[in-house]
Structure 1
Amino acid sequence: MKTAYRPIFVARQPIFDRNGDVWGYELLYRASNTVSMDGSSPSTATSRVISDGLSLALDSVTDSKKILINFSRHMLLVESATVLPPEICIPEVLEDVGITPEIVSAVKRLKKAGYLIAVDDYVGQPGMEPMLKLADIVKVDMLGMKLSEVEKLSRTLTKYNCKLLAEKVENRGMFDLAVSLDYSYFQGFYFAKPELIEGRKISSCALTRFQLMKDLSSPDYCVDDVAKTISHDVGLSHRLLRYVSAVSHYAKIRSLSHAVAMLGLWPLKQWLMITMLSDTSREDRSQELIYQSACRGKFMEIIADSIAGNKFDRDSLFLLGLFSNLDALLGLPMAEITGHLPLDDTLNNTLCGEETPLSGLLNMLKAVEAADWATVAAALQQYSIPETDAAEAYTKAGAWAHKTLAAG
């Protein structure tokens, strides 16, 4: 029996602490029009989207991480947040809620119930003082403000008992500024962009991994070859057995060959490629990019059958998603990296930013991650992909990526 999925996209955006470790995630939802068409009231539908979306998101989030969720005026007044666990969920008060006595009372009730409170997109707008006094975290929008404005705003916030979160951090300069102003948390595309370092070369270790990835992506690479590759590495063999135990219902594994046979060739290749990517760095920032890459690859693979005309190869789409963050992971231009990978022209050109028949799919995934729902909707229409199929595929891909990396 097919699992019933509500058509909900859940974009997760990582929030880092001063050490560069992932402290939590902001979850941004996009529910299709069908969610609220079952006769339920707007408040009920909103609460259901939040609770269902959180359940889906938790399949791909480590238990100890905090979850930040935007709350509109209506959602605060109908106490939608109370469907969420206060020990991990932090409501974000949006900048346009209007600070009225009713809103202040609603937020006070949430704090009394044990919730931490975040104020979103603060840029010094007047009238926010009652909310700033209640806030545990204030998110300061760094984009578009001058250095002097950021410094002045940050100083005014020191009188409140709250921690500062710099959002929309786009580059290293903005990050360093926020650190110097004693910000505790950081969020933005800076953490997902490549830091190109002049003169850097691909290491011999990375070249070895690329060669193995080249072999793995070949249709001639057989199960025996994969098993032989794994058997030469005790640590890799142990990690494979852990992964098989996590994804299989088998109680006992007789041998490495048995484990290989249980998984199947393509799932095993996928696991190996992700494991090798994961080994490029153990920093939280890189691990977040690797999760994103794995999620992209699996989504591309799953959604291939839903694309009108079914004209794209599933395996090629998986590789496109998986390799889409290599420049950020290695700090090298994508063109230099792809020169070491045996990709066909379409994959290579797509990864290097050229317009191809696959560009729209990759851009759609980036739009999901940025919660740019208008672009997502346009891409789904372009490829004639049903929204319910895409939402289900994205949920499955996130859960798969999390399980694969956790077991590795």
Structure 2
Amino acid sequence: MQDVFIGRQPIFDRRIQVYAYELLYRDGYVGYARINDVDQASCDVLANVLLEIGLENIVGPHKAFCNFSQGFLLQKPDLSFAAQQLVVEILETVQPTAEVLTAIDRFRAAGHLIALDDFVYDAGLQPLVERADIIKLEVLDVDFDVLRQRIDQLRGLKPRLIFLAEKVETNEVFQACRDLGFDYFQGYFFSKPKIVTGKKLPPSRLALLQLVAELQRPDVVLERVEQIIQSDVNLSVKLLRQINSSYYSLIHPVSSIRQAIVRFGLDHIRTWTCVLLLGGVSEKPLELMGMALIRGRMCALLAQQSQPQGVQTCFTVGLFSLLDSILDAPMEQILSSLPLSQEIKTALLEHGGPCGAILDQVKTYEASALMQQNGAVGENPALRTAYWEAVKWADHIRAGLC
């Protein structure tokens, strides 16, 4: 199945809070765009964002700036379902023909904000200014007096325009642009574009999400769990392969999904499902996945001593404690889309409750272990034992995911 790629660069407000993301065409894990057809590039970005990866998965509750070429504008795609989030960013090559202006009016009427990219004013572009909500001005190597004159000129044409500074590369430039009256800011000073990738939703992903939801129910039904796993060949093969691995030293191999569930219990299936879910969405190095597995297992081992009824919950808390790093999104936003208990969410967001306290202990140990490499602190023997047991377990689990 073919990967799809999107470049994502944040846009910040005057308080350096994320206001939006600009979504950029990428054809691989590269930090630049290789564009042969600008109209097709615009189309590909929207298709990948709206149909493949999902707008919410890329920008969360924030707005999304997407480049619209002249040819793509004239296709008049119906994007009204995303009007509150999708900002139509008109490229600097677009000319204000009657057809273009009609297309822009159509987007405005649907509720989209209109932005003008890399804008340099001349009288012939006034119809675009009249329809714009946001104007993006490039500030790299531009004299601040020139910028002030451009802003004053444009505000004279439309007083309520919003200005966005592009290519802000130093704090000095950011402060100067803020003083000039810019409302939003974008550039390498804040963040370089990051690559977001995704695939079309395969049946196994859908089955996996259904399985997570079912396993989180307080009245989980074994037959329903069995049915979901059996509905997807990939899930069935992965479960039986891991159960029958040498790690468990079974005398007789497990040959059915029901036998696997009964033999190892729903807690084991929950653990296995969480690991598969996390491994399936991660685009980061395997080492980060390994860190999450170690945290999960270490939390579970410590819970056996102090919270024996909450071992599985503590495992999930530890495993998911790196979700924000793995998915490049705020933890609160990620958790809002996962069918997890409030206990788990509180532990992850606030380190609250018994599982949150254990997670805090594990994270403190991680930091202490790093310091100990320089001879700064000693180790807790119980934590050290749990850590190395977790490392061994995590290595086995990662091998089973291949």
What is the TM-score normalised by the length of structure 2? 0.48
Q: Which has the higher contact order (CA 8 A, sep 6+)?
A: 1
Structure with higher Rg: it is 2
What is the TM-score normalised by the length of structure 1? 0.47
